[in-house]
Chain A
Amino acid sequence: MRPLRNIIQKEIWHILRDRRTLLILFGMPIAQILLFGFAITNEIKGADIAVLDRAQDIHSQAVTERLVASGYFTVQATVHSEPEIEQLFRTGQIKMGVIYPSDLGAHLESQQPVEVQFIADATDPNTATTLVNYGRAIVGDYQRELAPLAQPPRQIQTELRMLYNQELESVFLFVPGVMTIILMLVSAMMTSIALTREKELGTMEVLLVSPLRPPLIILGKVIPYVLLSMINTLLILGLSVWVFDMPIRGSFVLLFAESLLFVITALSLGILISTRTSSQQVAMMMSLMVLMLPTILLSGFIFPIESMPQPLQIISHIIPAKWFILIIKDIMLKGVGWAFIWQETLILTGMTTLFIGLSIRNFNIRLS
């Protein structure tokens, strides 16, 4: 075991002495989680609205108060005509206009359908839809409260309940994705670069012309990156639990084990890349193009897989990250156990075995 320890120790020296890479390795996860957690968010808070109140009664005032009290809206202006609303849209001062009809009170009291008009800026359709939905929900709630003793309405009421992430906290969605990307980056890119660096330096030649067995060389070089990746996993999980109050509903041990599996998948991809390239630059480009882009775009991290065209959906099946994201979401948010994720785990294990097999076949005991 001495040669193995020797190689591991040397690799750790390399990592520790390369301050810049070290900074990226540990700075990036923190920066990304904080960025996604605080800055990039789907939630809307305090959107500016304009109110055109043709009713001018207690109901219209009550609805406006509720809109503001929800925290989603801030009344930016009270106007007297529709063209004024348009003007405010054009100058970008408001995100939504609310128009109460003059017969608002009558409709509400008689439990008839209410026609509060919400006008939103559809150049940003996501925000527009969200705002209008919030507005409608608030009006609907108010109407129902007005008639607590009345007979239940005859129409079918749908009730939406968001399970597992009731508050729709977007950070909960990003943490699994960011964790996946970081693990991919550290494990695959860093190992492929570390291995090709030895080729570039010519030290791989010397190592090959030594009694060291090639698998030992690779194992020794890869183990430090497994450790690094696992430290990163803990770092990301720690941040999400303590800073963003993200739950880990399932077993932590299972989550850790699955992360380890994914790290090994990524490492085997990194090794595979390094067997195919001989320069650090090419290794980096290949890692970015072949691994990072699909991981970001096709894993379901940013774009929902269900809304992709059929061919891309098929391709997404061969992206290891997709399966890993499913697994960690299941464990962290749903709190499910082994029985529900064994299929995904099996797929990842299969992929890893395949990559390692290919790497062994491609790795040369000689040069070229």
Chain B
Amino acid sequence: MITIQANEVNKKYGDTIALRDLSLSVEKGELFGLIGPDGAGKTSLIRILTTLLLADKGTATVNGHDVVKSYRAIRRQVGYMPGRFSLYQDLSVEENLRFFATAFGTTIEANYDVIRDIYQQIEPFRRRRAGALSGGMKQKLALSCALVHRPEVLFLDEPTTGVDPVSRQEFWQILKGLQERGITILVSTPYMDEASLCDRIALIQDGQLLGIDTPAALRKAYPHPLWDLQSSRRYELLHFLRQQEFTLSVFPFGETLHLATRPDVPEHQIRESCYSQGFTDIQLTRIEATIEDCFMDRMAPTADPEIH
């Protein structure tokens, strides 16, 4: 059963195109990730699905309700956590939660079982002002507020941005727990390494879909042989490889380089051409593509000027 459906959604702000013909569907109970950099259109899509924004063209439904015509029904059934943790900084943890509960016509007590696991972690600070909480605690409070009315669908816009890795990891564990309760979750993130934590992901860039599938399937679909190279002369090696005939693309990737080659280029050919240029300390390994490699491969060639 499909819970979230978007059909050829378009959105423009003045001359800037935020979304072009974007279509996707999310199954009931799925943990679905929207992966893309800042300005890719993630927030616009989430706002259209949460009935906060009208699409210029295209249709969308949540839980079978049209986002334009039946926005009231949707607003009763979804939980939403905007990009910035939208809390009242001058209200305490408990006052924030109580306020949002009442706004949805319910009480903390009635739905305590939904938020218990999350809220218990911040409950010791329930009299503290939200403004004085750490990033990780704000994130948990914002999530508690979004869950306090027992929503069937949860929209989270970049919930892990600017939060330390420990809190990020805990947060994803929380999301898995919510998924087990049957809540459908659509979460956006600019962190490519969080893709593998989702059931399915959509890669978005410049308002367009670059790909949509399970993380494993996307990685498997990477079309070129991919190599990892390590050398103490990383920067020179990068320039050397870029000029080689067998190279399709080469990028720095953390400490190492990722090299995509034409098909059927044997390992010894790469190794030997590097040796011949004096790169004798290289470590060459054939690797499987990461989501980030897939993303770059699917990105439209940008109009960026090349730096020399």
Chain A residues packing against B (C-beta within 8 Å): 2-3, 6-7, 10, 13-14, 17-18, 201-203, 205-212, 365-368
Is B75 within 8 A of A2, CB to CB? no
Further pairs besides A2-B102, A366-B52: 13, Cβ < 8 Å: A2-B105, A3-B102, A7-B103, A14-B90, A17-B90, A202-B84, A205-B52, A205-B86, A209-B52, A209-B75, A211-B76, A211-B103, A366-B54
Is A212 within 8 A of B103, CB to CB? yes
Is A10 within 8 A of B104, CB to CB? no
Is A209 within 8 A of B54, CB to CB? no
B279 within 8 A of A: no
26 pairs, CB–CB < 8 Å, chain A vs chain B = A6-B102, A7-B103, A13-B91, A13-B95, A201-B84, A201-B87, A201-B89, A202-B82, A202-B83, A202-B86, A205-B52, A205-B82, A205-B86, A206-B80, A206-B86, A206-B100, A206-B145, A208-B52, A209-B50, A209-B75, A210-B75, A210-B103, A210-B149, A211-B103, A212-B103, A367-B53
Which of A10, A17, A205 meets B99, CB within 8 Å? A10
CB closest residue in chain B, given A368:
B53
Is B90 within 8 A of A211, CB to CB? no
Which of A14, A202, A206, A365 meets B71, CB within 8 Å? A365
Cβ contacts under 8 Å, B149 to chain A: 210
Is A203 within 8 A of B76, CB to CB? no
Which of B54, B75, B85 meets A211, CB within 8 Å? B75
Is B145 within 8 A of A10, CB to CB? no
Cβ contacts under 8 Å, B75 to chain A: 208-211
B78 within 8 A of A: yes
10 nearest A-B residue pairs (beta carbon): A202-B86, A6-B102, A209-B80, A203-B86, A202-B82, A17-B90, A367-B52, A205-B82, A202-B84, A210-B103
Is A367 within 8 A of B47, CB to CB? yes
B72 within 8 A of A: yes
Is B78 within 8 A of A209, CB to CB? yes
In whole angstroms, what is the CA distance A14 to B76 when docked? Answer: 26
In whole angstroms, what is the CA distance A145 to B51 when docked? Answer: 86
Which of A2, A13, A202, A366 meets B90, CB within 8 Å? A13
Cβ contacts under 8 Å, A17 to chain B: 90
Cβ contacts under 8 Å, B91 to chain A: 10, 13-14
Chain B residues packing against A (C-beta within 8 Å): 47, 50-54, 71-72, 75-76, 78, 80-91, 95, 99-100, 102-105, 145-146, 149
CB distance from B1 to the nearest CB of A (A): 23
In whole angstroms, what is the CA distance A201 to B87 when docked? Answer: 7
In whole angstroms, what is the CA distance A7 to B105 when docked? Answer: 12
Is B51 within 8 A of A209, CB to CB? yes
In whole angstroms, what is the CA distance A237 to B25 when docked? Answer: 64
Cβ contacts under 8 Å, A365 to chain B: 71
Cβ contacts under 8 Å, B76 to chain A: 211
Cβ contacts under 8 Å, B105 to chain A: 2-3, 211
CB distance from B183 to the nearest CB of A (A): 16
In whole angstroms, what is the CA distance A168 to B85 when docked? Answer: 58
Is A14 within 8 A of B82, CB to CB? no
CB distance from B153 to the nearest CB of A (A): 11
In whole angstroms, what is the CA distance A205 to B51 when docked? Answer: 10
Cβ contacts under 8 Å, A2 to chain B: 102, 105
In whole angstroms, what is the CA distance A203 to B138 when docked? Answer: 14
In whole angstroms, what is the CA distance A365 to B67 when docked? Answer: 12
Cβ contacts under 8 Å, A205 to chain B: 47, 52, 80, 82, 86
CB closest residue in chain A, given B86:
A202
In whole angstroms, what is the CA distance A367 to B82 when docked? Answer: 13
CB closest residue in chain B, given A207:
B103
CB distance from B90 to the nearest CB of A (A): 5
CB closest residue in chain A, given B142:
A206
Cβ contacts under 8 Å, B87 to chain A: 201, 203
A366 with B53, Cβ < 8 A, contacts A205-B86, A206-B86 known: yes
CB closest residue in chain A, given B105:
A211
CB distance from B136 to the nearest CB of A (A): 18
Cβ contacts under 8 Å, A13 to chain B: 90-91, 95
In whole angstroms, what is the CA distance A367 to B104 when docked? Answer: 19
CB closest residue in chain B, given A14:
B90
CB distance from B282 to the nearest CB of A (A): 49
Cβ contacts under 8 Å, B84 to chain A: 201-202
CB closest residue in chain A, given B92:
A13
CB closest residue in chain A, given B73:
A211
Cβ contacts under 8 Å, A366 to chain B: 51-54
In whole angstroms, what is the CA distance A208 to B71 when docked? Answer: 10
In whole angstroms, what is the CA distance A206 to B99 when docked? Answer: 12
CB closest residue in chain A, given B72:
A211
CB distance from A19 to the nearest CB of B (A): 11
In whole angstroms, what is the CA distance A363 to B82 when docked? Answer: 20
In whole angstroms, what is the CA distance A207 to B96 when docked? Answer: 12
In whole angstroms, what is the CA distance A53 to B257 when docked? Answer: 106
Cβ contacts under 8 Å, B83 to chain A: 202
CB distance from A87 to the nearest CB of B (A): 64
In whole angstroms, what is the CA distance A14 to B87 when docked? Answer: 12
In whole angstroms, what is the CA distance A18 to B104 when docked? Answer: 26
Is A210 within 8 A of B104, CB to CB? yes
In whole angstroms, what is the CA distance A174 to B104 when docked? Answer: 47
Is A14 within 8 A of B51, CB to CB? no
CB closest residue in chain B, given A6:
B102
In whole angstroms, what is the CA distance A211 to B71 when docked? Answer: 10
CB distance from A9 to the nearest CB of B (A): 8
CB distance from B37 to the nearest CB of A (A): 21
In whole angstroms, what is the CA distance A203 to B50 when docked? Answer: 14
In whole angstroms, what is the CA distance A327 to B275 when docked? Answer: 94
Is A203 within 8 A of B88, CB to CB? yes
In whole angstroms, what is the CA distance A106 to B157 when docked? Answer: 97
**Which of A14, A202, A365, A368 has the most chain B CB within a 10 Å cutoff?**
A202
In whole angstroms, what is the CA distance A7 to B145 when docked? Answer: 15
Cβ contacts under 8 Å, B89 to chain A: 201
CB distance from B111 to the nearest CB of A (A): 14
CB closest residue in chain B, given A4:
B102
